[in-house]
Amino acid sequence: MNRRDFIVGLAGAAAWPFVARAQSSTKIPTIGFLGTTSPSAWGEWVAAFVERLRELGWNQGQNVAVEYRWAEGRYERFAEIAAEFVRLKVDIIVTSGGAVLAAKEATSVIPIVFAVANDPVSLVSNLGRPGGNVTGLSLQAPDLAEKRLELLREVLPQVRRLAILGNIGYPASVVEMTDLQATATKLGLDVTKIEVRNADQIVAGIATLTRRVDALYVVTDSLVSTNRTVINTSALAAKLPTMHSVREYLEGGGLMSYGPSYTHLFRRAGDYVDKILRGAEPGLIPVEAPTKFEFVISLKTAKALDITVSESLLARADEVIE
């Protein structure tokens, strides 16, 4: 099965069968996969995770089962799904972001692997030796916000007024927005915050920015991920160039992104699951910092916004969307 075929069929994916410690050979162990957004939003990343498991010997329909559940960006669903996985007695829970806390509150026994997390320090007692039943991959890296703002100013030297959009219902987003505002101010930018808690507030919030700011910085979380096309479409209609942290968030008219490769992180999550299935204690597997970063720019969106991108900057990009 190639990645495209997997993504097409992901929404209706059935349970797959696997072999974990403390299970008899007749009992097929199960991964509970808690997706914070939707199958379409996470398709590429889940495909990378599945591909890595296959490379490590965990084959769909032969020796591994996965129960997929999707929260569709609704935070109240995290606890419901985590509780369901506990009732199902899954062998490992794989998830990300705010859903990790919900899974952690639901069980202190079932191993939990987070494929991405903005604030791993709040999830484990020690990054090098997490302890307990939780481990995974961090999104934290030094100076990412400043790097994104520098790239934004290379494309748009005239930027003076910056809007920051984020979900204030997610604590990690609040922290990031505060840190980003401080960084932007240090760089001489005037900052306007668009604080949202639900999808209905996104379009209205962006509409208030018309002619008030020069660019929009989008802070990532599951609500934003679920509504990323709406965000970019609204920003494009308002003639606002956008900066994202994830390549896939450029859908619908985003201008550029810089940050860790989620595809790579989800592949690494497959390595974590493999280690645990083969007997490793999650509390002894260190949380990893990101090692692969991507700078992506949409030339298509730049043309729509009448923005000229220098050849030197295009040459530095890991990907240019035509």
Tell me the three-class secondary structure of 23-69, residue by residue. CCCCCCCEEEEEECCCHHHHHHHHHHHHHHHHHCCCCECCCEEEEEE
Q: Are residues 274 and 167 in the same domain?
A: no
Average pLDDT, the chain: 90
What confidence category does residue 93 fall into, taking pLDDT thresholds of 50, 70 and 90?
very high
| Alpha helices for 136-261 (secondary structure H) | 144-155, 171-186, 200-207, 222-226, 228-237
Residue 309, Ramachandran bin (φ over 0: left; ψ between -120 and 50: alpha; else beta): beta
What's the pLDDT score for residue 22?
Answer: 40
- Is 279 within 8 Å of 285 (Cβ atoms)? no
**Could you tell me what percent of the chain has a pLDDT over 70?**
92
What confidence category does residue 1 fall into, taking pLDDT thresholds of 50, 70 and 90?
very low
| pLDDT digits 0-9 by tens, 177-208 | 999 999 999 999 999 999 999 999 999 999 99
Q: Are residues 96 and 224 in the same domain?
A: no
Q: Are residues 108 and 125 in the same domain?
A: yes
Full domain range(s) for residue 225: 144-260+294-321
Q: What is the CATH number of the domain that holds 275?
A: 3.40.50.2300
| pLDDT digits 0-9 by tens, 141-182 | 778 989 999 999 999 999 999 999 999 999 889 999 999 999
What confidence category does residue 14 fall into, taking pLDDT thresholds of 50, 70 and 90?
very low
What confidence category does residue 26 fall into, taking pLDDT thresholds of 50, 70 and 90?
low
Rounded CA gap, 298 and 313, in Å? 12
95 half-sphere exposure, CB direction, 13 A CA radius: 36
Q: Are residues 208 and 306 in the same domain?
A: yes
Q: How many residues does the chain have?
A: 322
Rounded CA gap, 156 and 187, in Å? 14
Q: Give this prediction's pTM.
A: 0.86
pLDDT at 10 exceeding the cut of 70:
no
Q: Are residues 50 and 65 in the same domain?
A: yes
Q: How many domains does the chain have?
A: 2
Mean pLDDT of 20-29: 56
Q: Are residues 49 and 63 in the same domain?
A: yes
Rounded CA gap, 226 and 36, in Å? 9
Q: Are residues 148 and 106 in the same domain?
A: no
Q: Are residues 60 and 136 in the same domain?
A: yes
Q: Are residues 63 and 134 in the same domain?
A: yes
Quick one: 48 exposed, middle or buried, by C-beta within 10 A (0-12, 13-18, 19+)? buried
What's the pLDDT score for residue 17?
Answer: 34
**Could you tell me what percent of the chain has a pLDDT over 90?**
80
What's the pLDDT score for residue 15?
Answer: 35
* Least confident piece of the model among 6-20, 239-253, 296-310: 6-20
- Nearest partner of 151 among 322, 21, 313, judged by Cα: 313
Q: Are residues 18 and 35 in the same domain?
A: yes
Q: Are residues 131 and 7 in the same domain?
A: yes
Q: Are residues 218 and 285 in the same domain?
A: no
Mean pLDDT of 229-237: 95
